[in-house]
Structure 1
Amino acid sequence: MIQIRINRTESGTIQSFTMSGHAKFAKHGEDIVCAGASAVSVGTINAVHALTGVTPEFENKPGFLRCVIPENLPESTEEKVQLLLEGMAVSLRAIEEEYGKHIKITFKKQEVE
């Protein structure tokens, strides 16, 4: 199963996300759940960089993806980045609704320290 964790700040903005595991919906190279989740998440990272100029910190290797959005972005840039990330969340939830046995999304809100 693909496990996705989307971390939100106290104010509700997406600060980071991780994706790990394998969907095991079909054999390697034919797994539409894995391909869809990968395309949505990596496409979002690429879109954030291309459309806002922000370069997220990320690590991508087989079965694992981690992305962290830089802090203290200008407000107008932050709004654009958040719109792209919320779009990603909507797309991943649509995949989860259809293929819930193979992908699970968890949202975690940062606690006040």
Structure 2
Amino acid sequence: MTSVLFKKKDDKIIAFDINGHAGYASEGEDIVCAAISALSQSVIIGLEEVLYIKPDYNIKDGFLCMSIRDNSIEDIEKSQVLLKTFLKSLQSISVSYVGYITIQIEEV
């Protein structure tokens, strides 16, 4: 199962951690893992190449963490449409593929 933790401050998403593999299908055929991976990496590309925001992130097999908590308030504000869309997209996947992804939101 993939677990996703979003971290919010003052109702703004400032970070997320993604851990694990969904286990929906075998490696290379797991559409849930592929969707989560594509969406999460698109967020980082959008932040860097469209919004010109430099997030801190780390990507490894079965793990991705991203944070904009040390960026300016302006950067955090600009990133919200992208990050909230990402959250809504993952929530949609979690409804369709119950038991393969869990999402938590933590106020920090």
- TM-score interval for Structure 1 and Structure 2 normalised by the shorter chain: over 0.9
Instruction: Measure, in 2, the Cα distance between the counterparts of 1:43 and 1:7.
Output: 18
Find the counterpart in structure 2 of residue 104 from structure 1.
102
**Distance in 1 between residues matched to 2:60 and 2:67, nearest whole Å:** 15
Offset at 1:70? 4.3
- List structure 1 segments (4+ residues) > 4 angstroms apart after TM superposition: none
Cα distance in 2 between the residues matched to 1:81 and 1:35: 23
Q: Deviations over 1:22-48 (max 9, x none)?
A: 101000000000000111111111101
Residue 80 of structure 1: aligned partner: 78
Q: For structure 1, which runs of at least 5 residues remain unmatched after alignment? A: none
Structure 2 unaligned segments of length 5 or more: list them: none
> Where do residues 46-65 of structure 1 align in structure 2 (5 Å cutoff)?
46-65=45-64
Aligned length: 108
* RMSD after superposition: 1.2
Give me the TM-score of the superposition, normalised by structure 1. 0.90
Matches within 5 A, 1:3-42: 3-9=3-9, 11-42=10-41
Letter in 1 for 2:81: L
* Secondary structure in 1 matching 2:86: helix
Instruction: Tell me how far 1:12 sits from its aligned partner.
Output: 0.8
| TM-score (ref. length: structure 2) | 0.94
Cα distance in 1 between the residues matched to 2:67 and 2:7: 9
Determine what percentage of the aligned residue pairs are the same residue: 34
